Amino acid sequence: MRRVFPSIIAIVVLAEMLSAQTNEKILSIAFRGTYTTSSKVFDNPDSPSSDVRGQYFTLDNIYGPGIEVRINIPGQSVAITIAAEYLSKQNVSDQLVGFTTPPRRLSVKEGFTLIPIELGVNVPIPLGSDGARLSIGGGVGSYIGTRILNVGGAEAPQQNRPVSYGIHVETNFDYQIIPRLYARAEMRFRDPEFTTESKFEQETTELNGVSVLLPHDAFRSRINVNGLTFGVGLVFELF
Higher pLDDT, 231 or 20: 231
The pLDDT confidence band at residue 173, using thresholds 50, 70 and 90, is very high
The pTM (predicted TM-score) of the whole model is 0.84
CA distance 182 to 177: 5
Q: Which CATH architecture has domain 4-237?
A: Beta Barrel (2.40)
Domain ranges of the chain: 4-237
For residue 8, give the H/E element and its range: helix 4-17
Sequence-ordered list of residues with C-beta below 8 angstroms from that of 124, at least 6 positions apart, any chain: 18, 20, 22, 24, 77, 79, 133, 134, 135
CA distance 39 to 98: 23
Q: Outline where DSSP puts E strands in 9-131.
A: 27-36, 40-42, 57-58, 62-72, 79-85, 87-97, 104-125
CA distance 80 to 138: 10
The confidence score (pLDDT) of residue 227 equals 82
The confidence score (pLDDT) of residue 12 equals 46
Give the amino acid at 139: G
Mean pLDDT of 157-171: 93
What distance lies between CA 64 and its chain's CA centroid?
9
Please check the confidence at residue 180 and state whether its pLDDT lies above 80.
yes
CA distance 239 to 24: 9
**pLDDT tens digit sequence for 87-141:** 999 999 888 887 777 787 888 899 999 999 999 999 999 888 878 999 999 999 9
Higher pLDDT, 83 or 215: 83
Q: What is the residue-wise DSSP string for 132-149?
A: EEEEEEEEEEEEEEEEEE
Mean pLDDT of 62-87: 95
Confirm if 191 and 166 have CB atoms less than 8 A apart: yes
The pLDDT confidence band at residue 20, using thresholds 50, 70 and 90, is very low
What b/e string do you get for 169-190 counting C-beta neighbours within 10 Å, with b at 16 or more? bbbbbbebeeeeebebebebbb
The confidence score (pLDDT) of residue 23 equals 57
